[in-house]
Amino acid sequence: GAVVSQHPSWVICKSGTSVKIECRSLDFQATTMFWYRQFPKQSLMLMATSNEGSKATYEQGVEKDKFLINHASLTLSTLTVTSAHPEDSSFYICSARIPTGTSNSYEQYFGPGTRLTVT
């Protein structure tokens, strides 16, 4: 079946540095990818929706200049956390959506997540 991978699976970085997380769809082309953030013991919160070749759409309250999303190809989306701070420490999960072929129907697959710790 369809698989979404994320790299790295975990990362520790120092405050003030930037870190990039990659999300790849392995068996299919995803025109739309989503990025979620999950703080400990909380739910997944949608951060942004990215469409291949266009600018990402950010949810209210998510700083687009801090969380840079690039979806340059149909199989790769990247999330860069710029000037990371300890409060950015979280579990970041990407998701890819593919149409199933029938009208308005699609599947959404989730990556395994990336655990970011900012010290």
Q: Applying CB under 8 A, does 12 fall inside the site for another protein?
A: no
Minimum CB distance to another protein, residue 62 (Å): 13
For another protein, the closer CB: 25 or 113: 113
Contact set for another protein, span 33-92 (CB under 8 A): 34, 38, 41-46, 49, 91
* 54 versus 104: smaller Cβ distance to another protein: 104
Q: Which residues fall within 8 angstroms of residue 95, CB to CB, at 6 or more apart?
A: 4, 33, 34, 35, 36, 108, 109, 110, 111
Residue with tokens 């579990």: 91
Q: How far is residue 48's CA from residue 83's CA, in Å, rounded to a whole number?
A: 19
Compute the least distance from the CB of residue 115 to another protein, in Å.
Answer: 7
Footprint of another protein on this chain (CB under 8 A)? 34, 38, 41-46, 49, 91, 93, 95, 104-105, 108, 110, 112-113, 115
